[in-house]
Structure 1
Amino acid sequence: MRILIIDDSEGSRLILTTILRSAGHYDITEASNAQEAFDILQCRDLEAVESDVDLVLMDLHLPGVDGIEATRIIRGATHLNDIPVVIVTADDNTAALERAFRAGATDFLRKPVDPVELRARVRSSLRLKEETENRKARERELLDMAGRLRQANNRLKELAIRDELTGIYNRRHFMEVAARELSRATRYERPIAMLFLDADHFKDINDTYGHFVGDRALCTLAEACQKQLRDVDIFGRIGGEEFALVLPETTEEEAMAVAERLRESIDEATFTLDEVSRKNPVLDDEPDAAPRTYHIHLTISIGVAVTEASLISLEEFMLRADRALYRAKELGRNKVVLG
């Protein structure tokens, strides 16, 4: 560990250096005044984050900036806060030592220095420095672990409310949020709309292209719908190829316009889907064929229910939208029906 000796007396520096080297401390740097020490410690460098000096032994009486002011300046540098500063002085002035401790000194030695005491104080100060560094390293590790734990918890919370396939709200969380929005709309007598969406003839897609392509089609469908929605709208997958949507602050006319816009955007789109390879690299010896690309046309049927300032349960509200959806399918699909 590196020790910095600050003393304007070359003889004093030599005595300290000789004693320290006899105790096995060979990494010693000397400075004859505070300014030299500041340069070594990089006190004025605002970008410095650490110092390679582990202990400072400093005379109280220095030319120019004295030991008390030098201690205060060293302590003012953030990257030097943990470096022990031991005052070495022949001064018996208790008030001066008290000022040195107030400035940030951690210990002091009387001149002429007793070799046994010097070695003991240095050993104690370096141990304190090492323990401080270890404690701060553990604190950083704990903070890092706490940050990773928060991220993991946030991720688990997201997984708990998201549909595993499409990434939108799952049925349970959708119903929780929908119930809150319905309660708020009823309390403040504001309109609210519920839409049920269902992909038409989706079984045919699974049967024709396989469930891998079918799953990708559902993801693409959910993403396409979500692009048409506001941030306040609540969109969830409630089962299979069926989705639900809550539109706060939305009248019947506005809800029908949103539903028609969704229906048209899906009807006018062609979904390009890549088949996911199903080859098992461990069990299958045959070369894996390149995934095929399919261009699929989808349509959706939508049932719409709107309530304005009337008492209605979430179950009844959803039932109205579901009945309207069933009616849309009866009428030939790819339609919007108001319930």
Structure 2
Amino acid sequence: MSTLIVEPSASDLTELEALLKSWGYSDIIPCRSLDDARVQLGLSSVSIHVLHDLELAIIDISETDSFPKFVDELRQKIYYQDIPILTLSEGSRSEKMPMAFAFGAADFVSKPIAEYELRARVRSCLRLKHEVDRRKSRERELMEASHQLSDLNRILATVSMIDSLTGIPNRRCFDENFEQEWKRTFRNGGNITLIIGDIDYFKQYNDTYGHQATTVLPTLRRL
């Protein structure tokens, strides 16, 4: 999994990259500007690839006013919608923090950076990302189970209306359809026709040879 760092200061960028690697985050994407980040993330017209394994973005917003636009571009891509953004900034927290959180930052760290604080907030952001991923995975599983249950219910509803021996609609199907037709005829006016047929000596044959030997009904189905 990849971690994006956007830091205009070359020395700070090197320090951040070294810290993250020392904590076990080896796949680092260092950028000196948001424009560089756009290229790396496939948000620019000159991009040649997209990072589908990005899990965290650390962005210094001390000297940039384009952070809101960048976040908006990032969130428009479905594979970046849940990426937590950890913002960095020099000066008073009260100056930059409201803007950072208003435009989608997950957390905020003031410069100069305290190593223990940065590490804790990185872990917090990643826990948030993993929890969101877990929840969405569970939602997909529940949605799939719901679709399967709906399909099964449709199959059961169909099976419950069909006679297993003959493969033709059974008495339950007849009752429901006849009631619907009766109501429709009563509502719209007109006539309803019911044809009733009987098979001579069917009961005696059935009692003697059993249901499985009866071929009369399947034959009638083809008429």
Give TM class, smaller chain: 0.7 to 0.9
Q: 1:180 to 1:118 in 2, by over 3 A?
A: same
- In 1, are the aligned partners of 2:90 and 2:112 still within 8 Å (CA)? yes
Equivalent residue, structure 2, for 1:113:
113
CA distance in 2, matches of 1:188, 1:57: 69
Q: 1:184 to 1:42 in 2, by over 3 A?
A: same
Q: What is the CA distance between 1:187 and its match in structure 2?
A: 5.1
- In 1, are the aligned partners of 2:100 and 2:108 still within 8 Å (CA)? no
- In 1, are the aligned partners of 2:82 and 2:129 still within 8 Å (CA)? yes
Equivalent residue, structure 1, for 2:31:
31
- Secondary structure, counterpart of 1:169 in structure 2: coil
Structure 2 letter corresponding to 1:60? I
Equivalent residue, structure 2, for 1:256:
none
1:178 aligns with 2:178: yes
1:80 aligns with 2:76: no
CA distance in 1, matches of 2:42, 2:150: 37
Runs of 4+ in structure 1 off by over 4 angstroms are 197-203
- Secondary structure, counterpart of 2:196 in structure 1: strand
Equivalent residue, structure 1, for 2:55:
54
Q: What is the CA distance between 1:28 and its match in structure 2?
A: 1.2
CA distance in 1, matches of 2:187, 2:71: 66
Q: What is the CA distance between 1:62 and its match in structure 2?
A: 5.5
- Secondary structure, counterpart of 1:193 in structure 2: coil
Q: What is the CA distance between 1:61 and its match in structure 2?
A: 4.0
- Structure ID, larger Rg: 1
TM-score (norm 2): 0.81
CA distance in 2, matches of 1:150, 1:171: 24
CA distance in 1, matches of 2:54, 2:128: 14
1:81-127 alpha-carbon deviations (Å, 9 max, x no partner) = 11000111114263433222211111111111111111111111111
Equivalent residue, structure 2, for 1:4:
4
Q: What is the CA distance between 1:197 and its match in structure 2?
A: 4.9
- Secondary structure, counterpart of 2:25 in structure 1: coil
Identity of aligned residues (%): 32
1:149 aligns with 2:179: no
For structure 2, which runs of at least 5 residues remain unmatched after alignment?
none
CA distance in 2, matches of 1:49, 1:145: 31
Which structure has the highest helix share of the two? 2
Alignment of 1:249-264 (within 5 A): none
For structure 1, which runs of at least 5 residues remain unmatched after alignment?
225-265, 267-339
Q: 1:19 to 1:190 in 2, by over 3 A?
A: same
- In 2, are the aligned partners of 1:4 and 1:30 still within 8 Å (CA)? yes
Which structure has the highest strand share of the two? 1
- In 2, are the aligned partners of 1:5 and 1:57 still within 8 Å (CA)? yes
1:166-207 alpha-carbon deviations (Å, 9 max, x no partner) = 44321122023213323442454411111235689997xxx9
Equivalent residue, structure 2, for 1:195:
195
Equivalent residue, structure 1, for 2:123:
123
CA distance in 1, matches of 2:89, 2:31: 16
Q: What is the CA distance between 1:3 and its match in structure 2?
A: 0.9
Q: What is the CA distance between 1:29 and its match in structure 2?
A: 1.2
TM-score (norm 1): 0.55
Equivalent residue, structure 2, for 1:19:
19
Structure 2 letter corresponding to 1:53? L
- In 1, are the aligned partners of 2:41 and 2:51 still within 8 Å (CA)? no
Equivalent residue, structure 2, for 1:102:
102
- In 2, are the aligned partners of 1:84 and 1:106 still within 8 Å (CA)? yes
Structure 1 letter corresponding to 2:56? L
Q: 1:198 to 1:10 in 2, by over 3 A?
A: farther
Structure 1 letter corresponding to 2:57? V
Q: 1:211 to 1:12 in 2, by over 3 A?
A: same
CA distance in 1, matches of 2:188, 2:69: 67
